[in-house]
Amino acid sequence: MKIAVIGGNGLIGSKLVARLRLRGHEVIAASRRSGVNTITGEGLNEALRDVHTVVDVSNASSFVDPEVSDFFRRSTENLLAAGGRAGVSHHLALSVVGTQRLRTSAYFRAKEIQESLVRRSNLPHTLVQSTQFFEFMANIIPAGSGGESVHLSPALVQPVAADDVAELLVDLALMPPSNATSEIAGPDSYRLCDLVQWVMYSYQDDRPVMADTAASYYGAILDDHTLTPGPGALMAKTHFRDWLDGYLSGSRQIPHVNHPNPMARTR
């Protein structure tokens, strides 16, 4: 099967490309690096020629409006149009658990635009909503030092390893389109403030973490249901403690993503 992975050089995309190739599929890793620009449409027709399945795991470089909304609207419209011209049989898009519950956030409003465009398109599709990745927990740590306290939401989260997300996406990409939404989550739930403090300790950051129900996450206030999956979610196998032990032993690294961090605040 010929498969195009949009965002094929990113955290999830690179893992997905490698796994699909190991299973013997012809894979196009499409990104600006390979000359494919989903915003302008440059290179899209060529990238999708004879492609059976498109997997969109791309992400915006800005998480604020109007840039984030423009990215997901224009990118998704161009992908769907090019997919229609190429006769794509399955369009799979990766989104986020809780998207419909976080409309006060510009990022999640933009993800809802993406999802709506896919649902309304004529292409057979699968939407996949994932919980937060273990790898991005470090990005929730706000800048600061000394005894300055860090205020974080105590809401429940159920994060997942990027490797597990990629593995589950491979299975979904090789299945017939569901024309529905599936959820992916890790095996355990945690209080967000406790989980981030755990990561801070691994960085030898001993600032006190305060549970603060008014602390925002991408501009939104959370409760215990906002970011957790519903019944029937696909459960990944890797536990956060095991994943973090691997980081501390040096076998993997927590990436620090460079973008504005509205998920936490300091006092």
Supply the CATH number for residue 35's domain: 3.40.50.720
Q: Where are the alpha helices (DSSP H) in 60-191?
A: 67-86, 106-120, 162-174
Tell me: the pLDDT tens digits for 54-106?
999 999 988 899 999 999 999 999 999 999 999 999 999 999 999 999 999 99
Total tally of structural domains belonging to the chain: 1
Distance CA 37, CA 78 (A): 10
Q: Token match 């504005």: residue?
A: 260
Percent of the chain topping pLDDT 70: 92
DSSP 34-79: GT--TTT-TTHHHHTTT-SEEEE----S--STTHHHHHHHHHHHHH
pTM of the model: 0.90
> What is the domain extent for residue 94?
2-266
